[in-house]
Chain A
Amino acid sequence: DVKVTQSSRYLVKRTGEKVFLECVQDMDHENMFWYRQDPGLGLRLIYFSYDVKMKEKGDIPEGYSVSREKKERFSLILESASTNQTSMYLCASSLLLASSGNTIYFGEGSWLTVV
Protein backbone atom coordinates (compact mmCIF):
# COMPACT_ATOMS: atom_id res chain seq x y z
CA ASP A 1 0.00 0.00 0.00
CA VAL A 2 1.10 3.52 -0.77
CA LYS A 3 1.75 5.52 2.35
CA VAL A 4 1.86 9.31 2.49
CA THR A 5 2.86 10.47 5.94
CA GLN A 6 2.46 13.97 7.30
CA SER A 7 4.63 14.34 10.35
CA SER A 8 2.36 16.67 12.33
CA ARG A 9 -1.40 16.15 12.65
CA TYR A 10 -2.10 19.18 14.85
CA LEU A 11 -0.05 22.34 15.22
CA VAL A 12 -0.64 25.65 16.96
CA LYS A 13 1.67 28.48 15.92
CA ARG A 14 1.90 32.18 16.64
CA THR A 15 1.49 34.93 14.07
CA GLY A 16 4.82 35.67 12.43
CA GLU A 17 6.38 32.29 13.18
CA LYS A 18 8.05 30.25 10.45
CA VAL A 19 6.20 26.97 10.02
CA PHE A 20 7.35 23.76 8.35
CA LEU A 21 4.91 21.04 7.30
CA GLU A 22 6.65 17.84 6.30
CA CYS A 23 5.40 15.09 4.01
CA VAL A 24 7.03 11.77 3.11
CA GLN A 25 5.87 9.14 0.62
CA ASP A 26 7.22 5.61 0.32
CA MET A 27 6.30 4.63 -3.25
CA ASP A 28 8.95 6.42 -5.30
CA HIS A 29 6.36 8.79 -6.76
CA GLU A 30 7.60 11.64 -8.93
CA ASN A 31 4.69 13.99 -8.23
CA MET A 32 3.99 15.51 -4.85
CA PHE A 33 1.34 18.08 -3.98
CA TRP A 34 0.29 20.38 -1.17
CA TYR A 35 -3.39 21.26 -0.91
CA ARG A 36 -5.25 23.45 1.52
CA GLN A 37 -8.81 22.50 2.58
CA ASP A 38 -11.30 25.06 3.84
CA PRO A 39 -15.07 24.66 4.40
CA GLY A 40 -17.09 25.55 1.33
CA LEU A 41 -13.98 25.92 -0.82
CA GLY A 42 -12.93 22.31 -1.23
CA LEU A 43 -9.26 21.55 -1.76
CA ARG A 44 -7.10 24.17 -3.40
CA LEU A 45 -3.63 23.48 -4.77
CA ILE A 46 -0.82 25.49 -3.19
CA TYR A 47 2.26 24.01 -4.91
CA PHE A 48 3.30 20.83 -6.58
CA SER A 49 6.57 19.21 -7.57
CA TYR A 50 7.26 16.71 -10.35
CA ASP A 51 10.91 16.05 -9.55
CA VAL A 52 13.59 16.79 -7.00
CA LYS A 53 14.25 20.52 -6.77
CA MET A 54 11.43 21.22 -9.25
CA LYS A 55 8.28 23.04 -8.22
CA GLU A 56 5.31 24.75 -9.79
CA LYS A 57 2.81 27.17 -8.30
CA GLY A 58 -0.73 26.06 -7.85
CA ASP A 59 -3.79 28.26 -7.43
CA ILE A 60 -2.96 29.87 -4.08
CA PRO A 61 0.85 30.04 -3.63
CA GLU A 62 0.97 33.44 -1.93
CA GLY A 63 2.46 33.25 1.55
CA TYR A 64 3.86 29.77 0.99
CA SER A 65 7.03 28.18 -0.34
CA VAL A 66 8.09 24.57 -0.79
CA SER A 67 11.21 22.48 -0.75
CA ARG A 68 11.96 19.14 -2.36
CA GLU A 69 15.55 18.10 -1.75
CA LYS A 70 14.83 14.36 -1.84
CA LYS A 71 12.34 12.49 -3.98
CA GLU A 72 10.36 11.10 -1.06
CA ARG A 73 10.04 14.34 0.91
CA PHE A 74 8.08 17.51 0.15
CA SER A 75 7.98 20.35 2.65
CA LEU A 76 5.54 23.25 2.83
CA ILE A 77 6.92 26.40 4.43
CA LEU A 78 5.01 29.35 5.82
CA GLU A 79 7.67 32.05 6.08
CA SER A 80 5.61 34.23 8.42
CA ALA A 81 2.40 32.58 9.55
CA SER A 82 -0.78 34.63 9.57
CA THR A 83 -4.21 33.90 11.02
CA ASN A 84 -5.70 33.49 7.54
CA GLN A 85 -3.45 30.49 7.05
CA THR A 86 -5.32 28.59 9.74
CA SER A 87 -6.52 25.56 7.81
CA MET A 88 -6.20 21.87 7.08
CA TYR A 89 -3.23 21.03 4.86
CA LEU A 90 -3.17 17.85 2.79
CA CYS A 91 -0.13 16.36 1.10
CA ALA A 92 -0.49 13.97 -1.84
CA SER A 93 1.65 12.02 -4.28
CA SER A 94 1.34 10.17 -7.58
CA LEU A 95 3.35 8.70 -10.40
CA LEU A 96 4.40 11.20 -13.06
CA LEU A 97 2.38 10.44 -16.14
CA ALA A 98 -1.02 12.10 -16.03
CA SER A 99 -2.01 10.42 -19.26
CA SER A 100 -2.20 7.04 -17.57
CA GLY A 101 -4.69 8.36 -15.02
CA ASN A 102 -2.51 7.49 -12.09
CA THR A 103 -4.25 7.67 -8.77
CA ILE A 104 -3.28 10.44 -6.39
CA TYR A 105 -2.76 9.27 -2.80
CA PHE A 106 -3.29 11.55 0.18
CA GLY A 107 -1.87 11.87 3.65
CA GLU A 108 -4.08 12.24 6.70
CA GLY A 109 -3.78 16.00 6.85
CA SER A 110 -2.23 18.55 9.17
CA TRP A 111 -4.46 20.90 11.13
CA LEU A 112 -2.69 24.24 11.54
CA THR A 113 -4.01 26.93 13.85
CA VAL A 114 -2.29 30.33 13.80
CA VAL A 115 -3.04 32.49 16.83
Chain B
Amino acid sequence: AQTVTQSQPEMSVQEAETVTLSCTYDTSESDYYLFWYKQPPSRQMILVIRQEAYKQQNATENRFSVNFQKAAKSFSLKISDSQLGDAAMYFCAYRSARGETSGSRLTFGEGTQLTVNP
Protein backbone atom coordinates (compact mmCIF):
# COMPACT_ATOMS: atom_id res chain seq x y z
CA ALA B 1 0.00 0.00 0.00
CA GLN B 2 1.14 3.51 -0.71
CA THR B 3 1.86 5.97 2.08
CA VAL B 4 2.38 9.72 2.04
CA THR B 5 4.21 11.58 4.81
CA GLN B 6 4.31 15.29 5.54
CA SER B 7 6.78 15.81 8.37
CA GLN B 8 5.99 19.49 8.99
CA PRO B 9 2.69 19.92 10.86
CA GLU B 10 3.10 23.72 10.80
CA MET B 11 5.11 26.23 8.79
CA SER B 12 5.17 30.00 8.71
CA VAL B 13 6.46 32.52 6.19
CA GLN B 14 6.65 36.27 5.88
CA GLU B 15 4.55 37.87 3.20
CA ALA B 16 6.48 38.11 -0.12
CA GLU B 17 9.00 35.48 0.99
CA THR B 18 9.42 31.92 -0.26
CA VAL B 19 8.50 28.78 1.62
CA THR B 20 8.95 25.08 0.85
CA LEU B 21 6.64 22.37 2.13
CA SER B 22 7.99 18.81 2.26
CA CYS B 23 6.37 15.56 1.24
CA THR B 24 7.71 12.03 0.91
CA TYR B 25 5.89 8.95 -0.28
CA ASP B 26 6.38 5.24 -0.52
CA THR B 27 5.28 3.12 -3.46
CA SER B 28 6.39 0.15 -5.49
CA GLU B 29 4.72 1.49 -8.63
CA SER B 30 6.58 3.27 -11.40
CA ASP B 31 3.70 5.24 -12.85
CA TYR B 32 1.59 7.51 -10.69
CA TYR B 33 0.45 11.07 -10.06
CA LEU B 34 1.28 13.42 -7.23
CA PHE B 35 -0.79 16.38 -6.12
CA TRP B 36 -0.76 19.31 -3.76
CA TYR B 37 -4.15 20.42 -2.46
CA LYS B 38 -4.87 23.59 -0.51
CA GLN B 39 -7.61 23.74 2.11
CA PRO B 40 -8.41 27.27 3.32
CA PRO B 41 -10.59 27.94 6.37
CA SER B 42 -13.69 27.45 4.19
CA ARG B 43 -12.62 23.77 4.02
CA GLN B 44 -13.01 23.62 0.23
CA MET B 45 -10.18 21.51 -1.17
CA ILE B 46 -8.49 23.27 -4.07
CA LEU B 47 -6.04 21.59 -6.44
CA VAL B 48 -2.80 23.60 -6.48
CA ILE B 49 -0.54 21.56 -8.72
CA ARG B 50 -0.16 18.11 -10.26
CA GLN B 51 2.88 16.10 -11.33
CA GLU B 52 2.97 13.02 -13.55
CA ALA B 53 5.68 10.60 -12.42
CA TYR B 54 6.78 9.84 -15.98
CA LYS B 55 7.63 13.50 -16.56
CA GLN B 56 11.09 14.61 -15.48
CA GLN B 57 10.23 18.28 -15.70
CA ASN B 58 8.93 19.80 -12.50
CA ALA B 59 5.41 21.20 -12.68
CA THR B 60 4.81 24.92 -12.15
CA GLU B 61 1.66 26.97 -11.73
CA ASN B 62 2.34 30.68 -11.40
CA ARG B 63 3.91 31.16 -7.92
CA PHE B 64 3.70 27.45 -7.11
CA SER B 65 6.31 24.95 -8.22
CA VAL B 66 7.38 21.48 -7.18
CA ASN B 67 10.69 19.71 -6.75
CA PHE B 68 9.99 16.12 -7.79
CA GLN B 69 12.75 13.66 -6.96
CA LYS B 70 11.48 10.27 -8.13
CA ALA B 71 14.40 8.19 -6.90
CA ALA B 72 14.20 9.77 -3.47
CA LYS B 73 10.38 9.62 -3.51
CA SER B 74 10.20 13.26 -2.56
CA PHE B 75 7.71 15.87 -3.77
CA SER B 76 8.09 19.31 -2.20
CA LEU B 77 6.01 22.40 -2.91
CA LYS B 78 7.62 25.83 -3.23
CA ILE B 79 5.49 28.92 -2.84
CA SER B 80 7.18 32.08 -4.07
CA ASP B 81 6.19 35.64 -3.20
CA SER B 82 3.85 34.37 -0.47
CA GLN B 83 0.54 36.16 -0.08
CA LEU B 84 -1.87 36.36 2.84
CA GLY B 85 -4.34 34.30 0.81
CA ASP B 86 -1.89 31.42 0.71
CA ALA B 87 -2.53 30.74 4.39
CA ALA B 88 -4.18 27.33 4.53
CA MET B 89 -3.70 23.65 5.23
CA TYR B 90 -1.74 22.01 2.43
CA PHE B 91 -2.06 18.32 1.64
CA CYS B 92 0.23 16.20 -0.47
CA ALA B 93 -1.52 13.29 -2.22
CA TYR B 94 -0.68 10.24 -4.32
CA ARG B 95 -2.74 8.53 -6.99
CA SER B 96 -1.88 5.40 -8.88
CA ALA B 97 -1.91 5.44 -12.68
CA ARG B 98 -3.18 1.88 -12.88
CA GLY B 99 -6.25 1.54 -15.01
CA GLU B 100 -8.36 -0.53 -12.67
CA THR B 101 -10.88 1.10 -10.39
CA SER B 102 -8.90 0.62 -7.19
CA GLY B 103 -6.24 2.88 -8.62
CA SER B 104 -8.58 5.84 -8.68
CA ARG B 105 -8.27 6.73 -5.02
CA LEU B 106 -6.12 9.50 -3.55
CA THR B 107 -3.86 8.76 -0.59
CA PHE B 108 -3.17 11.86 1.51
CA GLY B 109 -0.45 13.00 3.85
CA GLU B 110 -1.18 14.43 7.29
CA GLY B 111 -1.18 18.03 6.13
CA THR B 112 0.94 21.13 6.80
CA GLN B 113 -0.69 24.24 8.25
CA LEU B 114 0.86 27.30 6.58
CA THR B 115 0.69 30.70 8.27
CA VAL B 116 1.58 33.83 6.31
CA ASN B 117 2.71 36.74 8.46
CA PRO B 118 2.16 40.30 7.20
Contact = CB atoms under 8 A, between A and B. Distances in A.
Interface of A: 31, 33, 35, 40-45, 48, 50, 56, 58, 88, 90, 92, 94, 96-99, 101, 103-104, 106, 108-109
A96 B33 contact: no
A33 to B, nearest CB: 7
A96 B95 CA distance: 13
A108 B104 contact: no
7 contacts: A42-B108, A50-B104, A97-B99, A98-B97, A98-B98, A103-B50, A104-B106
Instruction: Classify the secondary structure of A's interface with B.
Output: strand
Interface of B: 4, 6, 9, 33, 42-45, 47, 50, 52, 91, 95-111
Contacts, number: 68
Given A41-B110, A56-B102, A98-B103, A106 B96 contact: no
A80 B97 CA distance: 36
A106 B91 CA distance: 13
